[in-house]
Amino acid sequence: MNLKLKPVDLLILVASLSVSCNKNVPDKELQTICNPVDISYRFQLEEPSRREAADPVIILFKDMYYLFASKSGGYWSSPDLISWNFIATDQIPVEDYAPTAVVIEDTVYFMAGSVKNTIFKSTGPETGKWEIARESLPLAAADPVLFLDDDGRLYFFWGCSNVNPIYCIELDYQNNFEPVGEPVILMNSIRDKYGWEVPGDYNTLYNNSPWIEGSWMNKINGRYYLQYAGPGTEFKSYSDGVYISDKPLGPYVSAEHNPFAYKPEGFACGAGHGSTFTDKYGNYWHVGTVTISVKHIFERRLALYPAFVDQDSVLYTVTKFGDYPIIVPQKKVEGFDDIFPGWMILSFKKAVTASSFIDSLPPENMTDENIRTYWSAHTGNDNEWAVLDLDDVYDVYAIQLNFAEHNTGISGRLKDIAFQYTVESSVEGNNWKLLINKSENQTDNSHDYTQLDHKISCRYLRVKNKHIPGGNFALSGFRVFGLGNGEKPSPVKDFKVERDPRNGRSVMLTWNKVDNATGYNINYGSRENKLYHNYIFYSDTTITINTLNKGQDYYFNIESFNENGITTGKTIKPAFK
């Protein structure tokens, strides 16, 4: 349940923010979301028991958004990109990977990566009813994508391999989707040049071939943006690159700003194998795949990031504070400042006590900003709880509980499963006030994000279990967002940039520790005025980034942040090719 700020609290919030981002906040309400996307992720049909959704596509059809994702037992609809309603169906291959959908006139056409490559159609996807538009295509096409050009011609893209490239062919949808001409090879990996295509969480598996897959196409201002995923869905570096052309069948040239969607660190990592779409107000969004890959390599979630095209036709995705609350705008916006409410993480590395815990899954895992680690109580009973000490009194605006579901044993999408709990707050740790009451909740949301009615000032927060779907009461993140009343951190000083002369894909950054900083944001890019890449960093003051393109200059800037806000770095330093 997402709750709205009251007008008086909105005024207080706007006045208190340390960034200038709220000049375009809607007058009547401020609505936020927080990644991972807060939907009913399904348990998979085979062991081990774990949830999964990946390879997402969002389309806008008749003023409603539709979200399709791999192996989910159906799909979702939303009027606003905030609340999502699940639509169950057995009339399309919802158990296949890599769905795609396209709107042609008054009809939605759907495919998924199956052997037959059947094309389905529906004029009422809200009903879950579909029919076959073509039984099969004469193409062995993994990760299919349908793209309708503005001249009415339909193109079919595909490719999913650590060897083969991305292909495209035209389809005549007015003639039973018959292929026109021969398939054209558009691009393939060049990992020896592009560091971000190298496999591994930190792009260091130089001897491994990346998986090049998950293509997508957008036409923007007359140019074609061919998107694709690499280097592998199990890695935190899973990202989307883009090639650009003036023609749908190419030739294509790799964009200078690549990968254009990239989130390698933080709580929820990954932005790969996604799709880019426009909302009702003309804003671009990129929806991508988040990796967990603990219980199973394909244990994954979804993330929604704002995207933009700059004055030089550079397509980029804003993943800066990409797993913090962001505003869902009700008008056209221009950049990060318009969508970031300035609510900072208050819970990082803060002390947590619990009713019980398994030795290998301790309470501190709830606040380490790592979705791959979690705390588990001994049981799933209603006497299990956790108390978070923020170490000071802060203004709290939103809370996200990420349920880890230890030992669930659940398979498939079951009816009537839900997380039921309460969250209480306290200033001194003994007089508790009910803050969130979901003791009668009937929805199945394992990354449950709540924007509060109004800010509340407290130091302690207690979550108490009432009921879980199965297994142990477990949390990978007890995440709290808001603002402190103290000073923002000092600026980062004396940072150094050293590019590896033997491997132009790597660069090492070092800087002096900022004593009152929670963490750092590294902003970098190929131009001094285009620092579109972002790398959040919570520990140490040395980092090696392996995502650079050989033969290309880069520029770096470091911000510090804490519970009170962000301090922009004043220095931009180069790493020349």
Q: Is the pLDDT of residue 8 over 80?
A: no
pLDDT (0 to 100) of residue 22: 40
Q: Does a cis peptide bond (omega within 30 degrees of 0) precede residue 501?
A: no
**What range does the domain containing 261 cover?**
33-339
pLDDT (0 to 100) of residue 140: 80
Q: Is residue 88 part of a domain?
A: yes
Distance CA 448, CA 443 (A): 10
Same domain, 128 and 180: yes
pLDDT (0 to 100) of residue 21: 39
Distance CA 37, CA 39 (A): 6
Same domain, 398 and 530: no
pLDDT (0 to 100) of residue 550: 96
pLDDT (0 to 100) of residue 5: 39
Please provide the DSSP assignment of 120-166 as one string.
Answer: EEES-GGGT--EEEES--SS--SS-EEEE-TTS-EEEEE--BSSS-E
User: 257 and 239 in contact (C-beta within 8 Å)?
Assistant: no
pLDDT (0 to 100) of residue 28: 44
Q: Is residue 10 part of a domain?
A: no
Q: How many residues does the chain have?
A: 577
Query: 282 burial class (0-12, 13-18, 19+ CB within 10 angstroms)?
Result: exposed
Distance CA 55, CA 42 (A): 14
CATH number at residue 373: 2.60.120.260
Same domain, 318 and 374: no
CATH number at residue 534: 2.60.40.10
pLDDT (0 to 100) of residue 367: 98
Confidence of residue 253 (pLDDT cuts 50, 70, 90): very high
Distance CA 434, CA 455 (A): 14
Confidence of residue 344 (pLDDT cuts 50, 70, 90): very high
pLDDT (0 to 100) of residue 416: 86
Question: 0.75 cut: is pTM over it?
Answer: yes
Higher per-residue confidence, 552 vs 8: 552
Query: What is the Cα 102 distance to its own chain's centre?
Result: 22
Mean of pLDDT values over 283-300: 98
pLDDT (0 to 100) of residue 24: 36
Same domain, 361 and 397: yes
Same domain, 332 and 362: no
SS3 call for 101: strand
Distance CA 134, CA 117 (A): 9
Same domain, 161 and 248: yes
Q: How far is CA 300 from CA 82, 215, 318, 329, 371, in A?
A: 20, 18, 20, 27, 11
Please report where in the chains the tokens 């394909």 appear, as a residue: 298
pLDDT (0 to 100) of residue 114: 76
Q: In the beta sheet, which residues pair with residue 64?
A: 61
Sequence-ordered alpha helix ranges (H) in 273-381? 336-339
Distance CA 180, CA 244 (A): 22
Distance CA 21, CA 399 (A): 21
Q: Is the pLDDT of residue 511 over 70?
A: yes
User: 100 and 109 in contact (C-beta within 8 Å)?
Assistant: no
Confidence of residue 16 (pLDDT cuts 50, 70, 90): very low
Same domain, 141 and 216: yes
- Which amino acid belongs to residue 423? V
Confidence of residue 457 (pLDDT cuts 50, 70, 90): very high
Q: Is residue 13 part of a domain?
A: no
Distance CA 482, CA 303 (A): 21
Of 110-114, 173-177, 341-345, 408-412, least confident by mean pLDDT is 110-114
Name the nearest CA neighbour of 169 among 161, 178, 464.
178
Same domain, 500 and 469: no
Q: Does a cis peptide bond (omega within 30 degrees of 0) precede residue 491?
A: no
Same domain, 147 and 217: yes
Confidence of residue 17 (pLDDT cuts 50, 70, 90): very low
Q: Is residue 376 part of a domain?
A: yes
Distance CA 102, CA 119 (A): 11
Q: Is residue 213 part of a domain?
A: yes
Q: Is the pLDDT of residue 325 over 90?
A: yes
Q: Is residue 133 part of a domain?
A: yes
Q: Are strands 64-68 and 74-78 parallel, antiparallel or unpaired?
A: antiparallel
Largest CA-CA distance found in the chain, in angstroms, rounded: 73
Q: Is the pLDDT of residue 417 over 80?
A: yes
Higher per-residue confidence, 266 vs 18: 266
Distance CA 181, CA 169 (A): 7
Q: Is residue 349 part of a domain?
A: yes
CB neighbours of residue 134 within 10 Å: 18
Q: Is the pLDDT of residue 475 over 90?
A: yes
CATH number at residue 333: 2.115.10.20
Average pLDDT score, the chain: 94
pLDDT (0 to 100) of residue 141: 87
Q: Kindly give, in sequence order, each residue whose CB lies less than 8 Å from that of residue 576, ignoring residues fewer than 6 positions away.
A: 499, 553
End-to-end CA separation in angstroms for the chain: 49
Residues 196-232 pLDDT 10s: 999 999 999 999 999 999 999 999 999 999 999 999 9
Same domain, 62 and 84: yes
Q: How far is CA 401 from CA 255, 293, 449, 455, 486, in A?
A: 38, 19, 7, 18, 26
Same domain, 425 and 520: no
Question: Which domain-ending residue is among 283, 315, 339?
Answer: 339
Distance CA 556, CA 336 (A): 18
Confidence of residue 539 (pLDDT cuts 50, 70, 90): confident
Question: Which domain-ending residue is among 483, 506, 538?
Answer: 483
Mean of pLDDT values over 420-427: 98
pLDDT (0 to 100) of residue 4: 38
Question: Which domain-ending residue is among 339, 361, 377?
Answer: 339
Q: Is the pLDDT of residue 11 over 60?
A: no
Same domain, 286 and 299: yes
Distance CA 25, CA 522 (A): 26
- What is the tally of structural domains in the chain? 3
